Amino acid sequence: MVSGRELDYIREAIANRHLSGNGPFTRKCQAWLVERLGAEKALLTHSCTAALEMAAILSEVGAGDEVIMPSFTFVSTANAFVLRGATPVFVDIRDDTCNLDETLIEDAITTRTKAIVPVHYAGVACNMSAISEIADRRGLLVIEDAAQGIGSTYQGRPLGHLGDLAAVSFHETKNVIAGEGGALLVNHARWAQRAEILWEKGTNRTQFFRGMVDKYTWVDIGSSYLPSEINAAFLLAQLEVADGITASRLAVWDRYHDAFAEWERKGIARRPAVPPDCRHNAHLYYLLFENLPHRAAVQSVLRAQGIDAVFHYVPLHSSPAGRRFGRTAGSLTVTERNADRLLRLPLWAGMTDEHIAAVTEAVSHALVQAHA
């Protein structure tokens, strides 16, 4: 969705003659994130992948360490820690939300465990009270993968402000976009200075521009994590209307939810579940079918009608790299079952009544055919 001011801001960025990273638009986006999400510091990145990699560096995990996470997530969640030499430990998900099952975390902890990485699937928060309690008691970090979480809350607190560190995404598939983009959220002051150094390629360049040092130099590891001012200019226009984008998506989500209630009552398709202490951002709307053949049959009917409905993650623990770099803790039965059954429906801000009706009618027709 284009808010209407993206091109104006991009023209302004060009007129500023500052197109590389850490210019005025970058700083305005970071200020918005700090104010709205409550972070100690927010650093805009060229991707959520980059933000996760920075979080992994700040966590100081390394060879022999373990990090607990779901297998039902995007590869970047695991890759960030594998790149530091750590082992992802895959734990099963909850059947209702597809989020990390907090009741299984304790049994997955070993003397090598350093962090827990909850992934807020579909913008619905994990049970962060339980996860934080375990982490505090066992001396572990909590690093939120809040890629899908902008605009969502848990017990009134924004996602991204519930862990020690967090990563959010502004990829074009997300609610608020920059084409490509992300941000690292630092929720404790002790990491703020080092995070800036990592962000600026391992130099103290940011301190130099503040007049804190008379010249900048290489002081730590790091990389080029900054986005361009073009991306930041586009993103600022999106952030300014983020509430409207969320409201528009929620209206579509609610229409879907009402339309498929009867199919759920019949036990034919299950709708998404949102726990009462979570306010979600309508990032995804999906249905869970009886099994893989049932999902494939529905998907085939929709495809024939020109409706792009897609499945989601192939579980990481079943992938070649997942088997090579990670390990599982217990059975991942729910992960495997839901990965086979889940189908995402088209959802975007500004969907018309005609679009919504076309999808709901096509799904209903597909369900009738699949059960004929």
Do 334 and 292 belong together in one domain? yes
Of 50, 3, 21, nearest to 230 (Cα)?
A: 21
pLDDT at 68 over 90: yes
Do 187 and 47 belong together in one domain? yes
Do 148 and 164 belong together in one domain? yes
CATH number for the domain that contains residue 277? 3.90.1150.10
115 pairs with which residues across the strands? 67, 141
* Mean pLDDT, range 191-216, rounded to an integer: 91
* Mean pLDDT, range 297-320, rounded to an integer: 94
Do 116 and 249 belong together in one domain? no
| Domain end position, chosen among 208, 240, 272 | 240
Of 183, 184, 140, 138, nearest to 165 (Cα)?
A: 184
Q: What is the pLDDT of residue 372?
A: 64
Do 235 and 249 belong together in one domain? no
Residue 1 lies in a domain: no
Residue 135 lies in a domain: yes
Of 63, 118, 125, nearest to 96 (Cα)?
A: 125
pLDDT at 349 over 70: yes
CATH number for the domain that contains residue 15? 3.40.640.10
Do 362 and 225 belong together in one domain? no
Distance CA 75, CA 316 (A): 7
Of 219, 232, 178, nearest to 23 (Cα)?
A: 232
Of 165, 67, 57, nearest to 112 (Cα)?
A: 67
| Domain end position, chosen among 213, 240, 267 | 240
Residue 291 lies in a domain: yes
Residue 200 lies in a domain: yes
Do 250 and 229 belong together in one domain? no
Residue type present at position 285? Y
> Residue 9: CB partners within 8 Å, gap ≥ 6?
25, 233, 234, 236, 237
164 touches 142 (CB < 8 A): yes
Domain span including residue 148: 6-240
Q: What is the pLDDT of residue 3?
A: 76
Residue 23 lies in a domain: yes
Do 276 and 204 belong together in one domain? no
Indicate the average pLDDT of the chain.
96
Residue 84 lies in a domain: yes
Distance CA 357, CA 351 (A): 10
Give the angle 316-319-322 at the CA atoms, nearest 5°. 60
Q: How far is CA 285 from CA 273, 274, 350, in A?
A: 10, 11, 15
| Domain end position, chosen among 240, 266, 281 | 240
Do 225 and 256 belong together in one domain? no
Do 252 and 227 belong together in one domain? no
pLDDT, tens digit, 9 for 90 and up, residues 29-65: 999 999 999 999 999 999 999 999 999 999 999 999 9
What is the number of structural domains in the chain? 2
DSSP one-letter string for 299-335: HHHHHHTT---B--PPPGGGSHHHHHH-EE-S--HHH
Distance CA 170, CA 297 (A): 33
Q: What is the pLDDT of residue 2?
A: 76
Do 44 and 163 belong together in one domain? yes
Do 266 and 341 belong together in one domain? yes
Of 295, 155, 168, 157, nearest to 238 (Cα)?
A: 168
126 touches 119 (CB < 8 A): yes
pLDDT, tens digit, 9 for 90 and up, residues 185-203: 999 999 999 999 999 999 9
